[in-house]
A and B are shown apart, each in its own frame.
Chain A
């Protein structure tokens, strides 16, 4: 009786250890998939294991688990707590929806609750499998091994940190494997339950695991041999932002609110945002941001002034407006709708449905649209504007000294993180050292990028890790990126020089579509999402700058200098006709196709250059394989023994392993003649090895094969004999 209890206790310990091992699987899954309610899933595993432990019959445990699953769904997805009428109707409704989705193969339509059910069924199956392992096979190695691999892989390739997990897994796994081995030893040697001395084996086992575990924990560990691949993977996987900011979550280009973490690759997205009828290509501004965090942009709440305008009012966007005679009207029609305007520089007035209010935030220059105090997403509106022209004379007259009289409200446009590396401001000073005016300093920074080997790239863009600064990383390490990198770097450098500047989000010109009756139509897609720079010069005001390579949208310069001035910087004419509007997405296509052909070419030339080497190494490889094949008799048993151990102990495995043994014996040089029976061959083999093993195996095999009777064969014993024999053949 006592021994029975002992055995059951041991089994209980197995289940507890398995529970904790499974928990280690669940944690990272939960963390990485943003799944909550971990306790519910843990409880489910516990229920499965408890049912298994008490060998609850399937007709009881199955419905029990199903009820629990249903209850989970109710708790998580409805407001009910018990099986009320509403809860049950929810369950049935959900079932119908998901079944319909499944039959129609609309995989995207299945609901979250159904995914939860699927996940729970997976847990159910896992629990069953483990139950089988620990009660029938008495071997958990495979699962243990998989767990270690799983944690290791997640730790390496995902943000999940498995430091503690791997330690727990190792200790739990070793304990469990050891205890199972103890059980297996008793089972294999058919020691009667009353004679089993568990303590005798278990105490040293536990001590050993504890001692080795703590020594392993305390010993110093070598650092990783290779760099952490996570940032690299993240650049592909993680969302990125461009222009008006990242959309968070999906790595697609487009307008988003959150710019707090810039960097990383993104996918192009040709979704049309709006079409606009306008004479000249314009940058479409949405908002500005003022606070650089060393990772991205945030908005301070310094001033919260809001100015409200109604339809037709003259807007004050804080930007200079051009001469009245140059006024133009941009007529928008939107595919995607936003509750704010996308306005050109020099906006004068906005027109939309009667009763629309435009409220400009002094904070961000964002113009939000309201109707009857409710935020409204306009589909159509028009804005009259006149592009500002900046007098070159005035610009050249801007001096660093004038900055000293700036009012404190500009402080937020001079903000910089304390952690900003010194070399960023050093670089800004170096670039601008030869320039006198603020404008020229800004131009110098703007031109710095194309002249110093910076590359426009949307895919291989790093994300700053740890203490790394986004701008510092771009300027000094990667030198490649897209508009966010260029514009942010320029703003930061301007600020180090004391020039107030801010980061602007919006859309670039877009693609010119058609021109009827003199009007030009521009189509703006998500690919045109963009970010650029505005700098403030005392006496001039806010002026846009475009540091991003491949874009040309800076403010218009009025060349009002006297022509005899010899040192007129020959500015390229203002971007009346910017390069093809596709500039925004061409870099992606170009870089992908280019890189592909490049890679193929490189590979081809590499093969051509190393043809002799390749042939030589191929020959060596073939020779090694041939030699390995020739001497397979030596190493094959080493693989075969563990291989067959993984298999279920049944006739099929025994049959296979017996034939494998025959092959191995033939390799060893003891071959069965064609007309030789297994018995006489077994006699021959046994005589050769001086044992009785082959006879035993053969008797068992013949009984199973010719007699079709394999009920009473003792698989474990046979396997032992088999292993013994096959190991001899490799010596």
Chain B
């Protein structure tokens, strides 16, 4: 199977249980292949858990779930060393983060301390307990969900930590017909029925090959150009960091692979930029009063930035 076919197989597999959310599934797989993490922001009950479980099943990965609550402690996430009186020594009990695919549900319900424990693990792909650093098994993919910030009883994630998510998505409600189809399906297929379509080794291979996708200098310039413009926009208090530029490039490589290309085009960038950039920017208060979202600003910047179609300097 070619790389593209493998990725499509995952997506098709997910589609068997999630109805009408192919774009979301695609973006999730893109994040998985780009070795990034996904933040899903949505109301409960639209299939977030289902999505991530289906994804885990499709790649034959170990699936762990952490339900964040206000009283959850960091050790509940990363694990704890317990003294074993029998062996006369401390024994490490790995926490739920030590899985391949982790669903961190309602991440903004827990205290910043616990949140940062999770996010550190996400970024470094290691956890440190009692001075011992342990690698989290690869592939490692976290899908965090959060309730819309306006909801009560939430601890909003700090900007620095939002930056750790490659992509931020909204699932949104299904349409009428889709929801009916959801009801129909619930009577037959369940996530349990899904089989793995590729192996974990295949997934790791995909992740490695995605890095090889050609990103032309003009495309890199285009990415940086876009990031720069977010920093200079008059509505923006804090623009996209260089980490954001890097994230966009990685994601675009994975998307190019999904589209069956071995090179990135501006279309990939334009498609991904809202998902990759929006959550990395902070609006000025006046913009928030005017009801402008970061999403809109990214769209506007995209429309105004010249797409590179010509090499300006002869090589």
Chain A residues packing against B (C-beta within 8 Å): 659, 662, 673-680, 702-703, 705-709
Contact = CB atoms under 8 A, between A and B. Distances in A.
Contacts of B311: 705
A678 B307 CA distance: 8
B73 interface: no
21 contacts: A674-B304, A674-B306, A675-B302, A675-B304, A675-B305, A675-B306, A675-B307, A677-B265, A677-B266, A677-B267, A677-B307, A678-B265, A678-B266, A679-B265, A679-B267, A705-B218, A706-B216, A708-B216, A708-B263, A709-B214, A709-B262
B219 A706 contact: yes
B310 interface: yes
A659 B310 contact: yes
Kindly name the residue among B219, B264, B266, B304 whose own CB sees the greatest number of chain A CB atoms within 10 A.
B266
A219 to B, nearest CB: 53
B270 interface: yes
Contacts of B309: 659, 662, 678, 705
Contact of B263 (A659, A674, A678, A707): A707
Given A702-B265, A709-B263, 12 more contacts: A674-B304, A675-B302, A677-B270, A677-B307, A678-B266, A678-B307, A705-B216, A706-B216, A706-B263, A706-B264, A708-B214, A708-B216
A671 B216 CA distance: 25
A706 B302 CA distance: 18
Interface of B: 214, 216, 218-219, 261-267, 270, 302-307, 309-311
Kindly name the residue among A675, A702, A706 whose own CB sees the greatest number of chain B CB atoms within 10 A.
A706
Contact of B303 (A673, A678, A703): A673
A686 to B, nearest CB: 15
A703 B261 CA distance: 9
Q: What 5 A-B pairs are tightest by C-beta distance, nearest first?
A: A707-B263, A675-B303, A677-B266, A677-B267, A706-B216
Given A659-B310, A675-B303, A680 B214 contact: no
A721 to B, nearest CB: 18
Nearest to A703: B263
A318 B306 CA distance: 99
Contacts of B262: 707, 709
Nearest to B306: A674
Given A703-B263, A706-B265, A707-B263, A674 B214 contact: no
A676 B307 contact: yes
A358 B226 CA distance: 103
A709 B214 CA distance: 10
B270 A674 contact: no
Contacts of A662: 309
Nearest to B309: A678
Contacts of B216: 705-708
Nearest to B302: A675
A667 to B, nearest CB: 17
A255 B75 CA distance: 119
A705 B305 CA distance: 19
B310 A674 contact: no
B291 to A, nearest CB: 23
A718 to B, nearest CB: 17
Contacts of B306: 674-675
A577 B214 CA distance: 96
Contacts of B218: 705-706
Contacts of A676: 307
Contacts of A677: 265-267, 270, 307
B95 to A, nearest CB: 43
A679 B263 CA distance: 14
Contacts of A705: 216, 218, 309, 311
A678 B309 CA distance: 7
Nearest to B213: A707
A28 to B, nearest CB: 42
Contacts of A703: 261, 263
Nearest to B271: A677
A674 B267 contact: no
A704 to B, nearest CB: 10
A707 B303 contact: no
B214 A706 contact: yes
A679 B306 CA distance: 14
A675 B307 CA distance: 5
Contacts of A708: 214, 216, 263
A20 B214 CA distance: 52
A706 B264 CA distance: 7
A705 B267 CA distance: 14
Contact of B267 (A659, A673, A680, A709): A680
Kindly name the residue among A677, A679, A703 whose own CB sees the greatest number of chain B CB atoms within 10 A.
A677
Contacts of B214: 706-709
Contact of A674 (B219, B261, B264, B303): B303
Nearest to B305: A675
A705 B222 CA distance: 14
A709 B307 CA distance: 20
Contacts of B304: 674-675
B210 to A, nearest CB: 15
A707 B270 contact: no
A656 to B, nearest CB: 10
A58 to B, nearest CB: 29
Nearest to A701: B309
Contacts of B266: 677-678, 706
B305 A674 contact: yes
Kindly name the residue among A662, A673, A705 whose own CB sees the greatest number of chain B CB atoms within 10 A.
A705
A660 to B, nearest CB: 12
A2 to B, nearest CB: 41
Contacts of B303: 673-675
Contacts of B261: 703, 707
Contacts of B219: 706
A706 B265 CA distance: 6
A675 B266 CA distance: 10
A679 to B, nearest CB: 5
A58 B303 CA distance: 56
A236 B204 CA distance: 85
Nearest to A659: B310
Nearest to B311: A705
Nearest to A673: B303
Contacts of B264: 706
Contacts of B307: 674-678
A678 B264 CA distance: 13
A675 B303 CA distance: 4
A707 B265 CA distance: 8
